[in-house]
Amino acid sequence: MALEKCLGVTTVRTATPHLSPCFPTSREKLFFPTHRGFKKSMSTTKLSYQSLYSTYRKSRFVCNAREAVNEVKVVTDSSWNKLVIANETPVLVEFWAPWCGPCRMIAPVIDELAKQYGDKIACYKLNTDDSPNIATQYGIRSIPTVLFFKNGEKKESIIGAVPKSTLSATIEKYVDL
């Protein structure tokens, strides 16, 4: 489950009384119920100065759940054969470049498809600036271009920033239901 990647972090600091304006004297508590997503409620409690030193404790909740879900992974010249050609599941490969505006527009759509289809397809992205040999081998002349592979064989290509429905319809052709 994606929530396994979430963890609580507590920071404790010690300050002398004459430095107390530098450190707040309150502690925030965050409560995250497990039903209906995350809802944040905060309570503040005052800490007292009982000695020469005061304690400052800060808690925060760090969640890397997004990384736990199937996302689009990077493929390069060296990993192409292993990840794309030798893959038994259908493969979607997006050819892109960091300077390409339409590539940045279609990237969230590819991420959604990777999450939606989970382990039915493998989604990868190839930076054409870093791996020009693969782009040349498959005749990629404009980006973004999305290629579909099944059993190591190129089945279809879609050029340009297209809607999610177009990509979904193409994926459905090659996914074994």
* Residue 22 known to be catalytic: no
Which residue intervals of the chain are DSSP H helices? 65-68, 80, 101-117, 132-137, 164-174
Residue 99: Cβ within 10 Å count: 9
Assigned token pair, 177: 């239901």
**Residue of 6, 22, 63, 100 marked catalytic:** 100
6 in catalytic set: no
Whole-angstrom distance, CA of residue 92 vs CA of residue 162: 14
Rounded to an integer, what distance in angstroms lies between the CA atom of residue 13 and that of residue 154? Answer: 58
For residue 70 the two structure tokens come to 């199937």
Q: Judge whether 99 and 147 are in contact, CB under 8 Å.
A: no
Distance CA 65, CA 115 (A): 12
d(CA 159, CA 8): 44
Kindly name the residue from 6, 22, 63, 103 that is annotated as catalytic. Answer: 103
Nearest-angstrom CA–CA distance, 66 and 6: 10
Catalytic residues: 100, 103
